[in-house]
Amino acid sequence: MPLKKKKSNAGSAGMPAWHLDFRDVSRLPDVKPIRTSFFVNGISLLLAAFVLMNFAKQEFALHNLGSQVTDWQAQIESDSGPSSMAVQDFRKFQVEEKKIEEVKSFLTTKVKPSVFLMRLGEVLPENIIIDMIDWREGEIGLRGTVSGSPDRASGYASSMVALLTADEILGALFSEISLTSLARNPATGLLAMEIRMTLSPVE
């Protein structure tokens, strides 16, 4: 007796059985081998480490620069003392050198101090008093007081210049003799004069 074939289910010929999916996908565990949060956290850590290293490098450079500035300032302060003393010594040397040059010029000039003073005393008018003689290199300054009435005192000062220029001894020693200042002294009421005498070049 031949066997009867069972009727196969209509859906078993190649279509899987269908059923409802009640899973909550958002609550299912992440089964990926490497999670996305790992990459995000790793990149954030790398960026934070880079910023921190860069900040530390800048701070270290600023610290070194501050140390160098402190060292330079200390060196400057250390050298400023000897430098200031050297400048002061050089200025003193210049003053002394100027005095030496004036004395040298005074001694080597063809005008002998004794001769000049004696001749000046001989030709000096009675109404003119010499208060100071300023002997410089190549020049002699006479500062004095002129007595007499105000209308004649200035004439006396001009006559003194003419007298020195025309003198056979003093006139030959100076290339120029001029009245550079003439003013009334409020304290004495007399005229204060200044005469500049330029020495002739030494041959």
Cα(48)–Cα(115) distance, rounded to whole angstroms?
Answer: 97
**Per-residue pLDDT tens for 19-37?**
565 566 566 555 555 555 6
Closest CA to 190 of 164, 141, 159, 156: 156
Q: Final residue of a domain: which of 46, 73, 108?
A: 108
The CA-CA-CA angle for residues 60, 65, 66, to 5°, reads: 95
Kindly report the CATH number assigned to the domain that includes residue 167: 3.30.1360.100
For residue 14, being part of any structural domain is answered with: no
pLDDT of res. 1: 46
For residue 125, being part of any structural domain is answered with: yes
For residue 52, being part of any structural domain is answered with: yes
pLDDT of res. 105: 58
Q: What is the dihedral sign for C-alpha 170, 173, 175, 176?
A: negative
pLDDT score of 116 more than 60: yes
What is the radius of gyration, based on Cα positions, of the chain? 55
For residue 94, being part of any structural domain is answered with: yes
Q: What is the mean predicted confidence (pLDDT) over 106-124?
A: 77
Are 99 and 134 members of one domain?
no
Q: Final residue of a domain: which of 56, 80, 108?
A: 108
For residue 87, being part of any structural domain is answered with: yes
Are 99 and 78 members of one domain?
yes
Give, for 39, the enclosing helix (H) or strand (E).
helix 36-108
Are 51 and 99 members of one domain?
yes
CB atoms within 10 A of CB 114: 8
Cα(198)–Cα(16) distance, rounded to whole angstroms?
Answer: 135
For the chain, what percent of residues have pLDDT higher than 70?
A: 72
Structurally, how many domains does the chain consist of?
2
Q: At 141, list the tokens.
A: 């300054």
Are 75 and 98 members of one domain?
yes
Give, for 70, the enclosing helix (H) or strand (E).
helix 36-108
Q: What is the mean predicted confidence (pLDDT) over 165-182?
A: 88
Q: Final residue of a domain: which of 74, 108, 142?
A: 108
Are 145 and 86 members of one domain?
no
Can you give the residue range of the structural domain that contains 175? 113-199
Are 77 and 131 members of one domain?
no
C-alpha dist (Å) from residue 5 to 10, 14, 129: 14, 19, 167
For residue 101, being part of any structural domain is answered with: yes
pLDDT score of 113 more than 70: yes
Amino acid 86 reads A
Q: What is the mean predicted confidence (pLDDT) over 48-70?
A: 82
